[in-house]
Structures are given as C-alpha cells and as structure tokens.
Amino acid sequence: MHKVMIVDDNMTNLIMAKKALEDLYEIIPVSSGKIALEFLQEMPEPPDVVLLDVDMPDVNGFFVISQMKNVEKLARIPVVFLTAQEDVTTEIEGYSLGAVDYIRKPFTATLLRKRVDIHIKFVQEQKHNEKLNERLQKALSEKVHNIVELEYAIVEMFTSLMSNRSYVIAEHCTRVEKYMSFFLDSLIESRMFPLEEKDVQLLKFAAKIHDLGKICLPDRCLADMGDLSIQEKEFNNAHTVLGADAINKVMGVVSDNRFLMYAYNMCRFHHERWDGKGYPDRLMTTNIPIEARILAIVNGYDNFRTTNDGSEPLTHTEAVNRIRFWSGTHYDPELVDAFVNIERHIAAIRFDNQ
C-alpha cells in the first residue's frame, strides 16, 4: 500500500484529510513541520507523497520542503502544499522550491482523493520507468561485456593462428600491442589524443592484429624477408589489404563496431607514410588515420630491433635515431616527438618481454 504523510498543525484539517484517504493509502499524520522532518529522516522507506501545510507555528512548509530537497532519499518525494491563502506570490515561491501541486483549504474529500491519486500514479509510473531503465542498463552492460569478450576472443584467435604460422610474427604483434598501450596512455595524458577509456582499450586490442593479413602469406615470405623476389615482396606488402579485407567482411555483418573500424584502419594503413610514399593507398599526412600513424611508429621500432631480412637488428638508441631521422617522411613529426619523450619506457617494455 502506498504511504501518504499529512503534515498540518490544525487537528481538524489533519483528521479530515486522514479520513478522506485512509481507505486508499497508509496514512502518516504529523502535527508539526519539525516532527515531520524527524520522521522523514528516520523512516527506512519514505512516503510516496507528502501533503504539507504552508503555515505552521514551529517551522513552515517552505522550510520543510527546502530541507527535504537537501536529502537524497527525500528530494524526489512529491510535495503537495495545503493552504488557505490565495496569494499568487506565495504559490510561485512554493513551486520554485519544488512543490508539485497546491490544494486550497477548505478542501472536499473527493478533490483531495483525486489530486493525491494523480500524484501516486505519477510515482508508480516513475518507479516503473526506473526499474525498466535498470533492466535496460543491465541488458546493455551484459551486451557490451559480451562484445568485449568477443573482441578479445578475436584477438586471441589471431594470436594463436599466427603462432602456428610464425612464432616470430606472433611475438612481434604482442610486443607492438604493449608499446601501443603505453604510447596511447602517454598521448592521452599529454592531451594530444583525446579518447574515451573504452576506445583506448579497443585500440590496444586492435593493435595486436595489425598483421592479420600475414596469415595468408606463404611460409617463404614469413621466414626471410631479405631473400625475396620483387614479386614476393609485392605479395608480402599485400598483407595490409588482405587483413583489412577480412575485417571488412566482418564489418558487413556486424555494423557500427568501433573495434573493427580501428582494426581495419591499423591493418590497412600501418605501412602508409607521412610523405605519401607508403602502401597500399599512398595516403599522406593527416589523411592517414591517427591510430595507424601511431601504430606505424611502434611497429617500425620493433621491426628495427628484430629484423628478419638478414641484417643486424638495431640497438634501442639506433632504432630511436632511425625514427627521428624519418620524422616528416615516414612518420608524423608530432607523434615522433611524443614517442621520443617516452623512449626510455619503450626500452624497458622490450627488456621485460625478452
């Protein structure tokens, strides 16, 4: 049963209101504003509606409602003022303090019942909507959780498949993910790359599958890049398109998925160059998606440190200097500067993964 608190210092009015409503609601009659505030604070479950006299000797109705609005569990209780006054200014003040209605004294039982019924139904509807919203939020949260789990599964599936084809490339992708993770965090901290937390995690996931297309390459291309024919090198370069095309097919089934969008951009564009001389689309400068520009630097760093073309791997300092030297040609100059600022941490990450 819904609860209605009636606050009035006039016992006649209090009894009349109680009799008018007691067959419909649980009534809490209170004879002063001060006692009403004490009751409201102590009640484990507050009333659904408060009928509140404006003019009372201890504290008036305006004071009571203003105190209620300062307490979280009381702030949303509908307050209906009871008054014998017909002063418009007073009525406006009551509404400005948060009252939902005014009932003039003397009132009839029928009028009081109708007006209270309106506000009780509103409370019911509000509670119903809140419960519905909670269920929707829970369902959405579960859906998001399931999507994140699926995205993680996709990444791990690729890692497993790549490990079977080439342990070297699988390890490379794992290191690149770690570099990307730290680099992204530093860019966000410096406000160079404003992103929501959920997008940051998606970018980190996506970085690990940037070489997805290499699963399609023959073993010879995966084993030794230094002894490939021109045709084989061109086929190797096609790993960007092969990976992106695979993701694009999934995007046709799963629409509006940011993880897939980031993964597509990283797969296809991580070998583009700032000067437009990269592949596969010869994009240049800011036409290259920023996530691919960031990835290009950490991918380049790891490739310099672990070559598979027959040349000697570079030291950390040599790799960083190579990236500096290629700033403005291969890489975004601003991102290179940001990378150089954290290069000691990148070296530590690589050392931890050896």
Tell me if 106 sits within 8 A of 72, measured CB to CB: no
pLDDT value of position 158: 80
pLDDT value of position 26: 95
pLDDT value of position 224: 60
Torsion sign across C-alpha atoms 21, 18, 85, 47? negative
Measured in Å, how far apart are the chain's first and last C-alpha atoms? 68
- Count of Cβ atoms closer than 10 Å to residue 252 Cβ: 9
For residue range 79-124, list pLDDT tens digits in order: 999 998 888 888 899 999 999 999 999 899 999 999 999 999 988 8
Question: In whole angstroms, what is the distance from residue 264 CA to residue 281 CA?
Answer: 14
Q: What is the mean pLDDT of each run of 10 residues along the chain (354 residues)?
A: 94 93 95 94 93 92 95 93 87 92 91 93 84 72 66 79 81 93 92 81 91 82 67 84 91 81 96 97 97 97 82 91 97 97 90 60
Per DSSP, the three-state class of 315 is coil
Amino acid identity at 130: E
pLDDT value of position 225: 59
Domains of the chain with bracketed CATH:
3-133 (3.40.50.2300), 166-352 (1.10.3210.10)
Dump strand ranges (E) for 14-160. 26-30, 49-53, 79-83, 101-104
For residue range 237-280, list pLDDT tens digits in order: 899 999 999 999 888 877 778 889 999 999 999 999 999 999 99
